[in-house]
Structures are given as C-alpha cells and as structure tokens.
Structure 1
C-alpha cells in the first residue's frame, strides 16, 4: 500500500486531520461501523463525553486489531457527536490517540440530534492494508 497526503494548507495540522488521502496498491479495505461507548455486555454508557470518547476509541481499536489491521492505517474517520462543544472540550484525547498511532486521516465531525440511547459520540472508520 502506498499513501499520499494532500494538504494545500498548514492549519489543519493542529486539528488532527488531513484534507485528503490518496491510497494506491491496496491489498484490502476494512469499513468499520460506528463505534461507541458500549460495554462488552452491550450496555450503553451514561458517562461524560471524555469517558465516552475514550471508550469509543478503545472499541474502535479492538475492532481494527481483531480484523488484523492497524490504527495507523485509518484513512477516513468520521465523528458523530450530540455536542460539538463537549467533544471539543476533550479533543486532546482524540488528538493524542491520533499522534500515538501516527494517524493521518480525512475526517468529518458532524453534530447530530441524537445517537443510540445515552451515547454522545460515535467513530466510523475506513482502514486499509
């Protein structure tokens, strides 16, 4: 797999995403459903945004690793949240995770009216090999 990041500007570098990612010579692609703060028993979290974001990241990592992929190969990551304000107040958690895995992904953040039950954040990813 070969990857090329397209960033005509510098400002997005501080926001943990890129403007576009071109991927060629891909062996396989994993499309990951939105991952949230749901326990192994299927119980939705009632915790605050920071805790739910941490749990959603852990669940996303688990799915990616169980599929035999690496988080560093995420090329698209959409974030759905019930509160952009709450999400951005703990966005350092997300940015640190991206930096730790050297993730350079195209990304969109969308504020939605509601997610399933008591959930506040959902992460949807595309990963390549």
Structure 2
C-alpha cells in the first residue's frame, strides 16, 4: 500500500509537510499525544530539541509495535509551548526529522499552547497512521 500525496493544481509544494494524503486498504492507528520522555516516563531533558527527538521516537515505537513504518504516518499534530524556541530550533528539528522520518512528510499542524499536562514537557506530538493489511 502506498499513500498518495494530494497537491491541488497550481499550489506551491509545502515545505516539511503535505496538504493532503489518501490512504487506502489498511488498518488505522490512532496515537495518543507523545511527550519527550523515555519508555520509563522520565524526561532526560527540559529542552525542546531533545524532547522533540524523543517524542518522535516514541511515535515511531508505537507505529512499529503495530506493524507499521514511519511512512505509514498520515497525520501529525504538534503542540509546543514556546514558539520562539521552536523557530530558533527549526534547523536542528529538521535534521532530527530526516534522521528518523527520512523524506516522508505527513499532513501536519503546529499549534502553540500555554502549557502541557506532563511537566516539564515543552512539546507533544499526536499522530494517525494507516498500516497495510
């Protein structure tokens, strides 16, 4: 099964995400928001970049536990507490993204929030994947 990226005619190709994806013939996996703690629910850093990396690794661990791969992720929503810190870290975040996700860019939203439940989380990522039958 291959997901089909949707880009309306005449639209500029987005950088770092897709506007739409069609996914067929698979099992839908809904992932709860993942923060930047390890498998023992311990934060090893209170900084955005290492938390982003760990949260993304947590997403992939769940997808793989369900029999999927990173490219089966169709949708991601990131909730971040610090817009300024995020904008400063975009290059580092992009490097981490490439090392974990390669050139796969699901439909994504970035939402800036005042707080997250699990202290000292600064980013939380939720996702939806469609895994082939």
Aligned to 1:119: 121
SS at match of 2:115: coil
CA drift of 1:34 comes to 0.8
Aligned to 1:105: 106
Aligned to 1:56: 55
Gaps of 5+ in 2: none
SS at match of 1:86: helix
Q: TM-score, normalised by structure 1?
A: 0.84
Work out the CA distance in 2 between the residues paired with 1:89 and 1:65: 31
Q: TM-score, normalised by structure 2?
A: 0.82
Contact residue 3 and residue 22 of structure 2 kept, 8 A: yes
Contact residue 73 and residue 103 of structure 1 kept, 8 A: no
Aligned to 1:4: 4
The structure with the greater share of residues assigned to helix is 1
Aligned to 1:80: 79
CA drift of 1:37 comes to 1.0
Work out the CA distance in 2 between the residues paired with 1:98 and 1:31: 23
Gaps of 5+ in 1: none
CA drift of 1:46 comes to 4.3
